[in-house]
Protein backbone atom coordinates (compact mmCIF):
# COMPACT_ATOMS: atom_id res chain seq x y z
CA UNK A 1 0.00 0.00 0.00
CA UNK A 2 0.96 3.65 -0.47
CA UNK A 3 0.84 6.18 2.33
CA UNK A 4 1.44 9.89 2.81
CA UNK A 5 3.35 10.80 5.97
CA UNK A 6 3.48 14.17 7.70
CA UNK A 7 6.45 14.02 10.05
CA UNK A 8 7.77 16.51 12.61
CA UNK A 9 11.34 17.37 11.56
CA UNK A 10 13.54 19.27 13.98
CA UNK A 11 17.30 19.27 13.69
CA UNK A 12 18.16 19.83 17.33
CA UNK A 13 16.79 20.92 20.71
CA UNK A 14 17.11 24.63 19.93
CA UNK A 15 16.18 24.48 16.25
CA UNK A 16 12.78 25.38 14.92
CA UNK A 17 10.86 22.34 13.69
CA UNK A 18 8.08 21.81 11.19
CA UNK A 19 5.92 19.13 9.62
CA UNK A 20 7.31 17.68 6.36
CA UNK A 21 5.54 15.51 3.84
CA UNK A 22 6.90 12.11 2.70
CA UNK A 23 5.49 9.35 0.52
CA UNK A 24 5.83 5.74 1.67
CA UNK A 25 5.37 3.49 -1.39
CA UNK A 26 4.74 -0.26 -1.60
CA UNK A 27 4.44 -0.73 2.15
CA UNK A 28 3.71 -4.33 3.14
CA UNK A 29 0.71 -4.66 5.49
CA UNK A 30 2.79 -7.23 7.40
CA UNK A 31 5.63 -4.85 8.17
CA UNK A 32 5.77 -3.16 11.52
CA UNK A 33 5.37 0.59 11.85
CA UNK A 34 9.07 1.06 12.55
CA UNK A 35 10.02 -1.16 9.58
CA UNK A 36 7.91 1.13 7.42
CA UNK A 37 9.88 4.10 8.80
CA UNK A 38 13.15 2.18 8.21
CA UNK A 39 12.24 1.86 4.54
CA UNK A 40 11.34 5.53 4.25
CA UNK A 41 14.67 6.35 5.88
CA UNK A 42 16.64 4.13 3.48
CA UNK A 43 15.18 6.06 0.60
CA UNK A 44 15.95 9.38 2.30
CA UNK A 45 19.56 8.29 2.86
CA UNK A 46 19.85 7.12 -0.77
CA UNK A 47 18.69 10.59 -1.83
CA UNK A 48 21.28 12.23 0.39
CA UNK A 49 18.71 13.51 2.90
CA UNK A 50 18.79 13.18 6.68
CA UNK A 51 16.80 10.17 7.93
CA UNK A 52 13.89 10.64 10.35
CA UNK A 53 15.17 10.07 13.89
CA UNK A 54 12.99 7.95 16.15
CA UNK A 55 13.69 6.11 19.39
CA UNK A 56 13.57 2.32 19.53
CA UNK A 57 15.41 -0.57 21.09
CA UNK A 58 13.81 -3.96 21.78
CA UNK A 59 11.11 -3.77 19.09
CA UNK A 60 9.25 -6.36 21.19
CA UNK A 61 7.05 -3.98 23.15
CA UNK A 62 8.86 -4.46 26.45
CA UNK A 63 11.56 -1.82 26.82
CA UNK A 64 9.57 1.39 26.55
CA UNK A 65 12.05 3.15 24.29
CA UNK A 66 9.89 3.66 21.22
CA UNK A 67 6.97 5.97 20.87
CA UNK A 68 5.59 8.79 18.82
CA UNK A 69 2.18 10.33 18.43
CA UNK A 70 0.56 8.72 15.40
CA UNK A 71 -2.51 10.48 14.00
CA UNK A 72 -2.95 12.26 17.31
CA UNK A 73 -2.71 9.17 19.51
CA UNK A 74 0.43 8.12 21.41
CA UNK A 75 1.61 4.77 19.98
CA UNK A 76 -1.12 4.92 17.33
CA UNK A 77 -4.59 3.51 16.83
CA UNK A 78 -4.26 0.00 18.27
CA UNK A 79 -5.10 -0.37 21.96
CA UNK A 80 -2.42 -1.57 24.39
CA UNK A 81 0.26 -1.62 21.69
CA UNK A 82 3.64 0.09 21.55
CA UNK A 83 4.71 1.84 18.34
CA UNK A 84 7.18 -0.98 17.62
CA UNK A 85 4.42 -3.58 17.90
CA UNK A 86 2.00 -1.67 15.70
CA UNK A 87 1.65 -3.20 12.24
CA UNK A 88 0.80 -1.58 8.95
CA UNK A 89 -2.31 -3.75 8.56
CA UNK A 90 -3.91 -1.24 10.96
CA UNK A 91 -3.81 1.27 8.09
CA UNK A 92 -5.34 1.39 4.62
CA UNK A 93 -3.90 2.14 1.21
CA UNK A 94 -3.94 5.88 0.57
CA UNK A 95 -4.03 6.84 4.29
CA UNK A 96 -2.38 9.98 5.58
CA UNK A 97 -0.39 9.53 8.78
CA UNK A 98 0.88 12.34 11.00
CA UNK A 99 3.88 11.66 13.24
CA UNK A 100 4.80 13.92 16.13
CA UNK A 101 7.06 13.59 19.14
CA UNK A 102 5.69 13.33 22.72
CA UNK A 103 4.74 16.93 23.49
CA UNK A 104 5.53 18.17 27.00
CA UNK A 105 7.70 20.94 28.38
CA UNK A 106 9.39 18.31 30.54
CA UNK A 107 10.26 16.26 27.42
CA UNK A 108 12.39 18.55 25.21
CA UNK A 109 12.81 17.38 21.63
CA UNK A 110 16.29 16.02 20.95
CA UNK A 111 15.78 15.51 17.23
CA UNK A 112 12.72 14.85 15.05
CA UNK A 113 10.62 12.29 16.95
CA UNK A 114 13.17 11.70 19.74
CA UNK A 115 12.52 13.39 23.09
CA UNK A 116 14.55 13.53 26.29
CA UNK A 117 12.61 11.61 28.93
CA UNK A 118 15.14 11.92 31.75
CA UNK A 119 12.51 13.91 33.69
CA UNK A 120 10.90 10.52 34.39
CA UNK A 121 14.19 9.33 35.91
CA UNK A 122 14.15 12.32 38.24
CA UNK A 123 10.75 11.21 39.54
CA UNK A 124 12.07 7.68 40.15
CA UNK A 125 15.18 9.05 41.85
CA UNK A 126 12.93 10.96 44.25
CA UNK A 127 11.47 7.76 45.71
CA UNK A 128 10.81 4.98 43.22
CA UNK A 129 12.91 2.48 45.13
CA UNK A 130 13.12 0.83 48.53
CA UNK A 131 16.06 1.13 50.88
CA UNK A 132 15.04 -1.99 52.82
CA UNK A 133 17.44 -4.91 52.64
CA UNK A 134 15.57 -7.64 50.80
CA UNK A 135 18.16 -10.38 51.24
CA UNK A 136 19.92 -12.76 48.92
CA UNK A 137 18.18 -14.51 46.06
CA UNK A 138 16.41 -17.36 47.88
CA UNK A 139 15.45 -15.15 50.81
CA UNK A 140 13.05 -13.10 48.74
CA UNK A 141 10.50 -15.86 49.13
CA UNK A 142 10.70 -15.75 52.91
CA UNK A 143 8.62 -12.59 53.07
CA UNK A 144 5.19 -13.93 52.25
CA UNK A 145 3.02 -11.61 50.20
CA UNK A 146 -0.68 -12.32 49.72
CA UNK A 147 -1.48 -13.25 46.13
CA UNK A 148 -3.90 -10.33 45.54
CA UNK A 149 -1.22 -7.86 46.72
CA UNK A 150 1.41 -9.47 44.53
CA UNK A 151 -0.93 -9.35 41.53
CA UNK A 152 -1.79 -5.71 42.24
CA UNK A 153 1.89 -4.77 42.47
CA UNK A 154 2.65 -6.65 39.27
CA UNK A 155 -0.14 -4.85 37.41
CA UNK A 156 1.33 -1.52 38.49
CA UNK A 157 4.85 -2.70 37.64
CA UNK A 158 3.74 -3.34 34.06
CA UNK A 159 4.64 0.28 33.32
CA UNK A 160 7.51 0.31 30.81
CA UNK A 161 8.20 4.02 31.33
CA UNK A 162 7.61 5.02 27.72
CA UNK A 163 5.92 8.32 28.60
CA UNK A 164 2.78 7.80 26.49
CA UNK A 165 0.70 8.83 29.54
CA UNK A 166 2.39 12.24 29.53
CA UNK A 167 1.99 12.57 25.76
CA UNK A 168 -1.71 11.72 25.97
CA UNK A 169 -2.56 13.82 29.03
CA UNK A 170 -4.20 17.15 28.14
CA UNK A 171 -2.24 18.57 31.10
CA UNK A 172 1.10 16.98 30.24
CA UNK A 173 1.03 15.25 33.62
CA UNK A 174 3.09 12.20 34.57
CA UNK A 175 0.66 11.10 37.28
CA UNK A 176 0.03 7.63 35.90
CA UNK A 177 3.75 6.92 35.63
CA UNK A 178 4.40 8.28 39.13
CA UNK A 179 1.41 6.68 40.80
CA UNK A 180 1.99 3.26 39.26
CA UNK A 181 5.31 3.21 41.14
CA UNK A 182 3.86 4.65 44.35
CA UNK A 183 1.01 2.11 44.34
CA UNK A 184 3.22 -0.83 43.42
CA UNK A 185 5.45 -0.23 46.42
CA UNK A 186 2.67 0.76 48.80
CA UNK A 187 1.21 -2.76 48.83
CA UNK A 188 4.52 -4.54 49.37
CA UNK A 189 6.03 -4.87 52.86
CA UNK A 190 9.45 -3.67 51.69
CA UNK A 191 7.89 -0.56 50.21
CA UNK A 192 5.70 0.34 53.15
CA UNK A 193 8.59 1.58 55.29
CA UNK A 194 9.13 4.62 53.08
CA UNK A 195 5.55 4.94 51.78
CA UNK A 196 4.85 8.36 53.29
CA UNK A 197 7.99 10.10 52.01
CA UNK A 198 7.73 8.33 48.68
CA UNK A 199 4.36 9.73 47.65
CA UNK A 200 5.29 13.25 48.79
CA UNK A 201 8.74 13.27 47.21
CA UNK A 202 7.77 11.68 43.93
CA UNK A 203 4.81 14.00 43.34
CA UNK A 204 7.00 16.97 44.28
CA UNK A 205 9.60 15.82 41.76
CA UNK A 206 6.82 15.57 39.19
CA UNK A 207 5.99 19.26 39.60
CA UNK A 208 9.64 20.30 39.74
CA UNK A 209 10.28 18.53 36.44
CA UNK A 210 7.61 20.71 34.83
CA UNK A 211 4.81 18.17 34.43
CA UNK A 212 1.20 19.27 34.91
CA UNK A 213 -1.34 18.16 37.52
CA UNK A 214 -3.90 15.40 37.11
CA UNK A 215 -7.48 16.47 36.45
CA UNK A 216 -8.80 12.97 35.87
CA UNK A 217 -9.21 12.99 32.10
CA UNK A 218 -8.05 9.32 32.09
CA UNK A 219 -6.41 9.81 28.67
CA UNK A 220 -3.27 8.24 30.17
CA UNK A 221 -4.92 4.88 30.79
CA UNK A 222 -6.45 4.92 27.30
CA UNK A 223 -3.04 5.52 25.71
CA UNK A 224 -0.96 3.22 27.94
CA UNK A 225 0.47 0.37 25.87
CA UNK A 226 0.37 -1.80 29.01
CA UNK A 227 -3.12 -0.78 30.12
CA UNK A 228 -1.90 0.55 33.49
CA UNK A 229 -5.07 1.59 35.34
CA UNK A 230 -5.93 4.98 36.82
CA UNK A 231 -6.93 3.08 39.96
CA UNK A 232 -3.27 3.48 40.90
CA UNK A 233 -3.75 7.25 40.87
CA UNK A 234 -6.63 6.91 43.34
CA UNK A 235 -4.43 4.61 45.42
CA UNK A 236 -1.64 7.21 45.47
CA UNK A 237 -4.13 9.88 46.48
CA UNK A 238 -5.06 7.64 49.44
CA UNK A 239 -1.38 7.20 50.22
CA UNK A 240 -0.95 10.98 50.16
CA UNK A 241 -3.87 11.46 52.57
CA UNK A 242 -2.39 8.82 54.91
CA UNK A 243 0.96 10.60 54.75
CA UNK A 244 -0.49 14.02 55.62
CA UNK A 245 -0.12 13.63 59.36
CA UNK A 246 3.44 12.25 59.10
CA UNK B 1 1.41 24.41 54.19
CA UNK B 2 3.50 22.01 52.14
CA UNK B 3 0.17 20.52 51.14
CA UNK B 4 -0.86 23.78 49.45
CA UNK B 5 2.14 23.56 47.11
CA UNK B 6 1.82 19.89 46.32
CA UNK B 7 0.13 18.51 43.26
CA UNK B 8 -2.14 16.06 45.10
CA UNK B 9 -2.57 18.41 48.08
CA UNK B 10 -4.08 21.18 46.00
CA UNK B 11 -6.24 18.68 44.11
CA UNK B 12 -7.56 17.51 47.49
CA UNK B 13 -8.55 21.09 48.32
CA UNK B 14 -10.34 21.30 44.96
CA UNK B 15 -12.11 18.04 45.67
CA UNK B 16 -13.11 18.86 49.26
CA UNK B 17 -14.37 22.34 48.37
CA UNK B 18 -16.00 20.92 45.23
CA UNK B 19 -17.83 18.35 47.37
CA UNK B 20 -19.11 21.03 49.74
CA UNK B 21 -20.22 23.18 46.80
CA UNK B 22 -22.07 20.19 45.31
CA UNK B 23 -23.76 19.73 48.68
CA UNK B 24 -24.74 23.40 48.65
CA UNK B 25 -26.08 23.11 45.10
CA UNK B 26 -28.30 20.17 46.11
CA UNK B 27 -29.63 21.89 49.25
CA UNK B 28 -30.24 25.07 47.26
CA UNK B 29 -32.17 23.09 44.65
CA UNK B 30 -34.35 21.48 47.32
CA UNK B 31 -35.00 24.91 48.84
CA UNK B 32 -35.85 26.48 45.49
CA UNK B 33 -38.27 23.73 44.61
CA UNK B 34 -40.54 25.07 47.38
CA UNK B 35 -41.67 27.52 44.68
CA UNK B 36 -43.77 24.70 43.24
CA UNK B 37 -45.84 24.81 46.41
CA UNK B 38 -46.60 28.44 45.59
CA UNK B 39 -46.09 31.70 47.43
CA UNK B 40 -46.68 29.99 50.74
CA UNK B 41 -43.86 27.55 50.11
CA UNK B 42 -41.02 29.79 49.05
CA UNK B 43 -41.94 32.85 51.14
CA UNK B 44 -42.05 30.70 54.27
CA UNK B 45 -38.73 29.12 53.29
CA UNK B 46 -37.09 32.54 52.78
CA UNK B 47 -38.56 33.81 56.06
CA UNK B 48 -37.19 30.73 57.83
CA UNK B 49 -33.68 31.28 56.41
CA UNK B 50 -33.64 34.91 57.51
CA UNK B 51 -34.86 34.02 60.98
CA UNK B 52 -31.57 32.17 61.49
CA UNK B 53 -29.95 35.59 61.96
CA UNK B 54 -26.18 35.50 62.49
CA UNK B 55 -26.06 31.84 61.38
CA UNK B 56 -26.89 33.05 57.89
CA UNK B 57 -23.75 35.15 57.96
CA UNK B 58 -21.59 32.29 59.27
CA UNK B 59 -22.94 30.19 56.44
CA UNK B 60 -22.29 32.88 53.86
CA UNK B 61 -18.70 33.43 54.97
CA UNK B 62 -17.91 29.71 55.00
CA UNK B 63 -19.41 29.38 51.54
CA UNK B 64 -17.42 32.35 50.28
CA UNK B 65 -14.22 30.81 51.66
CA UNK B 66 -14.91 27.45 50.01
CA UNK B 67 -15.75 29.17 46.74
CA UNK B 68 -12.62 31.34 46.94
CA UNK B 69 -10.29 28.38 47.58
CA UNK B 70 -11.91 26.37 44.81
CA UNK B 71 -11.53 29.22 42.31
CA UNK B 72 -8.00 30.12 43.39
CA UNK B 73 -6.63 26.61 43.03
CA UNK B 74 -8.75 25.95 39.95
CA UNK B 75 -7.11 28.86 38.15
CA UNK B 76 -3.64 28.14 39.50
CA UNK B 77 -3.69 24.46 38.53
CA UNK B 78 -5.14 25.24 35.11
CA UNK B 79 -2.35 27.75 34.40
CA UNK B 80 0.31 25.21 35.46
CA UNK B 81 -1.31 22.53 33.34
CA UNK B 82 -1.35 24.60 30.19
CA UNK B 83 2.25 25.66 30.80
CA UNK B 84 3.23 21.98 30.94
CA UNK B 85 2.71 21.67 27.17
CA UNK B 86 4.27 24.81 25.67
CA UNK B 87 4.25 23.45 22.11
CA UNK B 88 0.93 21.92 21.14
CA UNK B 89 0.26 19.00 18.84
CA UNK B 90 -0.58 19.64 15.20
CA UNK B 91 -3.03 16.79 15.57
CA UNK B 92 -4.26 15.42 18.91
CA UNK B 93 -7.09 12.99 19.34
CA UNK B 94 -8.57 12.43 22.78
CA UNK B 95 -10.02 8.99 23.39
CA UNK B 96 -11.36 8.90 26.89
CA UNK B 97 -12.00 12.39 28.25
CA UNK B 98 -15.22 14.37 27.93
CA UNK B 99 -16.25 17.82 26.78
CA UNK B 100 -17.12 18.62 30.38
CA UNK B 101 -13.62 17.69 31.56
CA UNK B 102 -11.92 19.74 28.88
CA UNK B 103 -13.93 22.86 29.66
CA UNK B 104 -13.78 22.90 33.49
CA UNK B 105 -12.06 26.27 33.68
CA UNK B 106 -14.52 27.90 31.25
CA UNK B 107 -17.64 26.45 32.84
CA UNK B 108 -16.16 27.35 36.25
CA UNK B 109 -15.61 30.97 35.23
CA UNK B 110 -19.10 31.07 33.71
CA UNK B 111 -20.51 29.86 37.05
CA UNK B 112 -18.50 32.55 38.85
CA UNK B 113 -19.88 35.26 36.56
CA UNK B 114 -23.36 33.85 37.07
CA UNK B 115 -23.03 33.79 40.87
CA UNK B 116 -22.08 37.47 40.84
CA UNK B 117 -25.11 38.28 38.69
CA UNK B 118 -27.37 36.02 40.77
CA UNK B 119 -26.39 37.82 43.98
CA UNK B 120 -26.86 41.25 42.36
CA UNK B 121 -30.27 40.10 41.16
CA UNK B 122 -31.99 38.21 43.99
CA UNK B 123 -29.88 39.02 47.05
CA UNK B 124 -28.87 42.65 46.59
CA UNK B 125 -31.72 43.69 44.27
CA UNK B 126 -29.40 45.79 42.12
CA UNK B 127 -30.21 44.63 38.60
CA UNK B 128 -34.04 44.74 38.65
CA UNK B 129 -35.03 46.76 41.74
CA UNK B 130 -38.50 47.54 40.37
CA UNK B 131 -39.59 43.90 40.72
CA UNK B 132 -37.54 43.09 43.81
CA UNK B 133 -38.27 42.53 47.46
CA UNK B 134 -38.10 45.91 49.17
CA UNK B 135 -40.08 47.62 46.41
CA UNK B 136 -42.75 44.94 46.06
CA UNK B 137 -45.42 44.94 48.76
CA UNK B 138 -45.19 42.30 51.53
CA UNK B 139 -47.34 39.21 51.08
CA UNK B 140 -50.65 38.62 52.91
CA UNK B 141 -48.79 37.28 55.96
CA UNK B 142 -46.43 40.26 56.09
CA UNK B 143 -43.44 38.36 54.69
CA UNK B 144 -41.03 39.42 51.93
CA UNK B 145 -42.72 38.38 48.71
CA UNK B 146 -39.90 36.32 47.21
CA UNK B 147 -42.42 34.37 45.14
CA UNK B 148 -43.60 37.42 43.20
CA UNK B 149 -40.03 38.63 42.70
CA UNK B 150 -38.98 35.29 41.20
CA UNK B 151 -42.06 34.96 39.00
CA UNK B 152 -41.89 38.53 37.64
CA UNK B 153 -38.16 38.07 36.99
CA UNK B 154 -38.39 34.81 35.10
CA UNK B 155 -41.30 36.11 33.05
CA UNK B 156 -38.61 38.26 31.42
CA UNK B 157 -37.20 35.93 28.78
CA UNK B 158 -33.74 37.49 28.93
CA UNK B 159 -33.34 36.78 32.66
CA UNK B 160 -34.58 33.20 32.23
CA UNK B 161 -32.07 32.73 29.40
CA UNK B 162 -29.16 33.85 31.61
CA UNK B 163 -30.19 31.37 34.30
CA UNK B 164 -30.66 28.53 31.81
CA UNK B 165 -27.27 29.25 30.22
CA UNK B 166 -25.58 29.20 33.61
CA UNK B 167 -27.22 25.88 34.40
CA UNK B 168 -25.75 24.41 31.20
CA UNK B 169 -22.33 25.44 32.54
CA UNK B 170 -23.14 23.81 35.89
CA UNK B 171 -24.33 20.67 34.11
CA UNK B 172 -21.03 20.36 32.25
CA UNK B 173 -18.93 21.24 35.33
CA UNK B 174 -20.63 18.63 37.51
CA UNK B 175 -20.77 15.96 34.79
CA UNK B 176 -16.99 15.75 35.15
CA UNK B 177 -16.51 17.21 38.62
CA UNK B 178 -18.48 14.72 40.69
CA UNK B 179 -16.67 11.57 39.60
CA UNK B 180 -13.41 13.52 39.52
CA UNK B 181 -13.69 14.55 43.15
CA UNK B 182 -14.22 10.97 44.33
CA UNK B 183 -11.22 9.82 42.30
CA UNK B 184 -9.13 12.65 43.77
CA UNK B 185 -10.20 11.72 47.30
CA UNK B 186 -8.95 8.21 46.55
CA UNK B 187 -12.36 6.64 47.06
CA UNK B 188 -12.58 4.84 43.71
CA UNK B 189 -11.04 1.73 42.20
CA UNK B 190 -11.14 0.06 38.80
CA UNK B 191 -14.67 -1.27 39.38
CA UNK B 192 -16.32 1.71 41.05
CA UNK B 193 -14.90 4.41 38.78
CA UNK B 194 -17.18 3.69 35.78
CA UNK B 195 -20.18 3.49 38.14
CA UNK B 196 -19.32 6.83 39.73
CA UNK B 197 -18.94 8.39 36.28
CA UNK B 198 -22.56 7.41 35.58
CA UNK B 199 -23.79 8.59 38.98
CA UNK B 200 -21.98 11.90 38.57
CA UNK B 201 -23.56 12.53 35.19
CA UNK B 202 -26.97 11.53 36.50
CA UNK B 203 -26.72 13.94 39.46
CA UNK B 204 -25.58 16.69 37.09
CA UNK B 205 -28.58 16.07 34.82
CA UNK B 206 -31.03 15.97 37.74
CA UNK B 207 -29.64 19.26 39.12
CA UNK B 208 -29.88 20.82 35.65
CA UNK B 209 -33.49 19.74 35.10
CA UNK B 210 -34.40 20.75 38.65
CA UNK B 211 -33.05 24.29 38.38
CA UNK B 212 -34.17 24.93 34.82
CA UNK B 213 -37.69 23.66 35.49
CA UNK B 214 -38.34 26.81 37.54
CA UNK B 215 -37.85 29.47 34.81
CA UNK B 216 -39.37 27.11 32.25
CA UNK B 217 -42.52 26.60 34.36
CA UNK B 218 -42.82 30.34 34.82
CA UNK B 219 -42.34 31.10 31.11
CA UNK B 220 -44.96 28.47 30.27
CA UNK B 221 -47.34 30.12 32.69
CA UNK B 222 -47.54 27.04 34.95
CA UNK B 223 -46.48 29.22 37.87
CA UNK B 224 -47.90 32.74 37.91
CA UNK B 225 -48.65 35.55 40.33
C1 LIG C 1 -21.41 25.88 42.27
C2 LIG C 1 -20.17 26.04 42.02
C3 LIG C 1 -19.15 24.94 41.76
C4 LIG C 1 -19.22 23.60 42.01
C5 LIG C 1 -20.37 22.84 42.61
C6 LIG C 1 -17.97 23.02 41.57
C7 LIG C 1 -17.64 21.68 41.65
C8 LIG C 1 -16.42 21.13 41.26
C9 LIG C 1 -16.01 19.79 41.49
C10 LIG C 1 -16.84 18.75 42.22
C11 LIG C 1 -14.77 19.64 40.96
C12 LIG C 1 -13.92 18.38 40.97
C13 LIG C 1 -12.79 18.44 41.94
C14 LIG C 1 -11.77 17.35 41.67
O15 LIG C 1 -11.50 17.01 40.54
O16 LIG C 1 -11.21 16.82 42.60
C17 LIG C 1 -14.40 20.88 40.38
C18 LIG C 1 -13.22 21.11 39.71
C19 LIG C 1 -12.85 22.32 39.15
N20 LIG C 1 -13.56 23.51 39.25
FE21 LIG C 1 -15.35 23.76 40.13
N22 LIG C 1 -17.17 23.99 41.05
C23 LIG C 1 -17.86 25.19 41.15
C24 LIG C 1 -17.42 26.43 40.77
C25 LIG C 1 -16.23 26.68 40.11
C26 LIG C 1 -15.78 27.99 39.74
C27 LIG C 1 -16.50 29.29 40.03
C28 LIG C 1 -14.59 27.83 39.10
C29 LIG C 1 -13.84 29.01 38.55
C30 LIG C 1 -12.64 29.05 38.22
C31 LIG C 1 -14.29 26.39 39.06
C32 LIG C 1 -13.19 25.81 38.45
C33 LIG C 1 -12.84 24.48 38.55
C34 LIG C 1 -11.66 23.88 37.99
C35 LIG C 1 -10.61 24.57 37.13
C36 LIG C 1 -11.66 22.54 38.37
C37 LIG C 1 -10.55 21.54 38.09
C38 LIG C 1 -10.86 20.62 37.01
C39 LIG C 1 -10.61 19.19 37.40
O40 LIG C 1 -10.10 18.90 38.47
O41 LIG C 1 -10.93 18.37 36.56
N42 LIG C 1 -15.31 25.72 39.70
N43 LIG C 1 -15.42 21.79 40.58
S1 LIG D 1 11.22 -0.52 21.11
FE2 LIG D 1 11.08 -1.46 23.05
S3 LIG D 1 9.00 -1.14 23.51
FE4 LIG D 1 9.08 -0.44 21.48
Mutate one of B73, B85, B181, B192 to test the A interface: name it (highest A CB count within 10 A).
B85
My answer on whether A162 and A196 are in the same domain is yes
Share of chain B above pLDDT 70, in %: 100
pLDDT of residue B1: 62
For the Cβ of A132 lying below 6 angstroms from any atom of ligand 2, the answer is no
Nearest CA to ligand 1 atom 31: B108
pLDDT of residue A135: 76
Rounded distance between C-alpha atoms, residue A210 and residue A213, angstroms: 10
| Mean of pLDDT values over B9-18 | 98
Rounded distance between C-alpha atoms, residue A177 and residue A212, angstroms: 13
My answer on whether A188 and A220 are in the same domain is yes
Q: Which of A8, A222, A238 sits opposite B96 (nearest CB)?
A: A222
* Residue A136 lies inside a defined structural domain of this protein: no
For the Cβ of B22 lying below 6 angstroms from any atom of ligand 1, the answer is yes
Q: How is chain A split among helix, strand and coil, in percent rounded to 5?
A: 40, 10, 50
Q: Is the dihedral of CA A134, A140, A146, A152 positive or negative?
A: positive
My answer on whether A64 and A26 are in the same domain is yes
pLDDT of residue A41: 98
Mutate one of B2, B11, B95, B178 to test the A interface: name it (highest A CB count within 10 A).
B95
For the Cβ of A81 lying below 6 angstroms from any atom of ligand 2, the answer is no
Q: Model ipTM? A: 0.95
Share of chain B above pLDDT 90, in %: 96
Question: Could you tell me if B51 lies within 8 Å of chain A, comparing CB atoms?
Answer: no
Rounded distance between C-alpha atoms, residue B6 and residue A196, angstroms: 14
Question: Do the Cβ atoms of B95 and A222 come within 8 Å?
Answer: yes
Nearest CA to ligand 1 atom 18: B177
- Residue spans of the domains in chain B: they are 3-85+99-219
Mutate one of A76, A177, A234, A241 to test the B interface: name it (highest B CB count within 10 A).
A234
Rounded distance between C-alpha atoms, residue A189 and residue A236, angstroms: 16
Q: Higher confidence at residue A138 or residue B195? A: B195
Residue A64, domain extent:
3-111
User: Which helix (H) or strand (E) covers residue A155, if one does?
Assistant: helix A147-156
Question: Do the Cβ atoms of B90 and A236 come within 8 Å?
Answer: no
Rounded distance between C-alpha atoms, residue B7 and residue B26, angstroms: 29
* Residue of A8, A65, A52, A29 whose CA lies nearest to A225: A65
Q: Is A30 helix (H, G, I), strand (E, B) or coil?
A: coil
Q: What is the CATH number of the domain that holds A163?
A: 1.10.1060.10
* Residue A191 lies inside a defined structural domain of this protein: yes
Question: Could you tell me if B104 lies within 8 Å of chain A, comparing CB atoms?
Answer: yes
Q: How many angstroms away from the CA of B99 is the closest CA of chain A?
A: 10
Query: Could you tell me the CA-to-CA distances from A6 to A18, B194, B224 in Å, in that order?
Result: 10, 36, 62
Question: Do the Cβ atoms of A240 and B8 come within 8 Å?
Answer: yes
For the Cβ of A44 lying below 6 angstroms from any atom of ligand 2, the answer is no
My answer on whether A90 and A186 are in the same domain is no
Q: pTM of the predicted model, to two decimals?
A: 0.95
Rounded distance between C-alpha atoms, residue A242 and residue A238, angstroms: 6
Helix-helix angle A231-243:B157-184, to 10 degrees:
80
Q: How many angstroms away from the CA of B171 is the closest CA of chain A?
A: 17
Question: Do the Cβ atoms of A234 and B95 come within 8 Å?
Answer: no
My answer on whether A201 and A161 are in the same domain is yes
My answer on whether A11 and A93 are in the same domain is yes
Q: Which of B6, B96, B186 sits opposite A204 (nearest CB)?
A: B6
Q: What is the CATH number of the domain that holds A55?
A: 3.10.20.30
pLDDT tens by residue, chain A, 246 residues: 999 999 999 999 999 999 999 999 999 999 999 999 999 999 999 999 999 999 999 999 999 999 999 999 999 999 999 999 999 999 999 999 999 999 999 999 999 999 999 999 999 999 999 998 877 877 777 889 999 999 999 999 999 999 999 999 999 999 999 999 999 999 999 999 999 999 999 999 999 999 999 999 999 999 999 999 999 999 999 999 999 987
| Mean of pLDDT values over B88-97 | 97
Question: Could you tell me if B11 lies within 8 Å of chain A, comparing CB atoms?
Answer: yes
Rounded distance between C-alpha atoms, residue B17 and residue B63, angstroms: 9
Domain count, chain A: 2
pLDDT of residue A88: 98
Rounded distance between C-alpha atoms, residue A24 and residue B203, angstroms: 51
In the reported structure, the alpha carbon of residue A26 is separated from the centroid of ligand 1 by a whole-number distance in angstroms of 51
My answer on whether A152 and A95 are in the same domain is no
pLDDT in tens, B139-194: 999 999 999 999 999 999 999 999 999 999 999 999 999 999 999 999 999 999 99
Architecture of domain B3-85+99-219: Up-down Bundle (1.20)
Rounded distance between C-alpha atoms, residue B129 and residue B113, angstroms: 20
| Mean of pLDDT values over B36-47 | 95
My answer on whether A184 and A231 are in the same domain is yes
My answer on whether A51 and A146 are in the same domain is no
Amino acid sequence: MDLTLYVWRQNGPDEKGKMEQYEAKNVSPDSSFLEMLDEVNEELIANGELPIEFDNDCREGICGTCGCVINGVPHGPQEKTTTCQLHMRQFNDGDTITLEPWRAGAFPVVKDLVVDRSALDKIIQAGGYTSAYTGEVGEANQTLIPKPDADYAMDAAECIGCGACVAACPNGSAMLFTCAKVAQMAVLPQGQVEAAERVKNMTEALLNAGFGNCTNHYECEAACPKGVSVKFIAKSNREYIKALGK
Amino acid sequence: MQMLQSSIGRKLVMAATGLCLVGFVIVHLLGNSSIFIGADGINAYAEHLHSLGPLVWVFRIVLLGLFGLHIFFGIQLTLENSAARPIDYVEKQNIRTSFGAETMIYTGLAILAFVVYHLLHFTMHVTNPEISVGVLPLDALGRNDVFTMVVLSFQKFFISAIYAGAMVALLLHLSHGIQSLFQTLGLLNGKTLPVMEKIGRAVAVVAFIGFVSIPVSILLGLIKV
